[in-house]
Amino acid sequence: MTAQRIVRMIKDEGLKPGDPLPIESEMYEAFGVGRSTLREALRVLEQQGVITIRPGRGGGPAVASPDSRHLASTLALMMQFSETPFRSVLQTREQIEPIAAMLCAQNRDQRVLQGLRQSVDAMQANLSDEEKFLYENHRFHELIAEGAQNPLITYFLNSLDWIIDGAKLGVTYSRASRKHVAEVHDEICEAIDDGDADRAREVMARHMSETRGYLERKYPKVLDQVLTWEMFGS
């Protein structure tokens, strides 16, 4: 497949995000394919976040870096065809995220710790702003996933976190709920800072259980709603 050969070329040549790819005429000659085949391969890679197509003079394909949103889009497409409800995503995250918190505490990466503390402080300082709350909530869990230092856990949890954001399903959080989340995030941050892996896992498990409980009480219909690609597709 031409797209796979392009990816292999990117890796073999050590190209980094932002580096330009060869011009189209060079690539279809090098790969021995037609212009339409090459352009279809580039379109597939652009959808997957592997490259960007820069318009205008001096533009063309350049290396990018796929992120968790691209995986979230693919998962959402698969979930739509399998009629997967929102509840299943919550259940999956409830099992994995405590493991990530445990690993994060074991690793105690100082940059991650600093980011977690900054996120907690920002959330506590902006409890009346739901938009900032949602941003910091995503940022906190993204840092936990990164701190696990396991690429599969990082990619998977971050993609689930994009999907678990119930804003697209009409979920909102009261100020009291935001305050409680900030307090729990602070507990998790302290456990990770102390290197207490068991405590980090336990508090995160409680946090995930409470999140599910909140949705079950306030938005029971949302839990059974089938997720669609339109909600999370790129």
Each residue's pLDDT tens digit, 51-93:
998 887 777 899 998 887 788 888 888 888 999 999 998 999 9
pTM over 0.95: no
Give phi and psi for 108, each to the nearest 5: 50, 50
Same domain, 86 and 182: yes
pLDDT at 233 over 70: no
Same domain, 129 and 228: yes
Percent pLDDT > 70 in the chain is: 98
Same domain, 124 and 218: yes
Answer whether 96's CB lies under 8 Å from 157's CB.
yes
Provide Rg for the chain, Cα atoms. 21
Same domain, 42 and 151: no
Rounded Cα gap, residues 65 and 231, in angstroms = 22
Same domain, 89 and 163: yes
Same domain, 76 and 173: yes
Domain holding 118, by residue range, is: 68-232
Mean of pLDDT values over 210-220: 92
Confidence class for position 232, pLDDT limits 50, 70, 90: low
Rounded Cα gap, residues 44 and 50, in angstroms = 9
Among the listed ranges 56-60, 106-110, 205-209, 222-226, which one has the minimum average pLDDT value?
A: 56-60
Same domain, 129 and 58: no
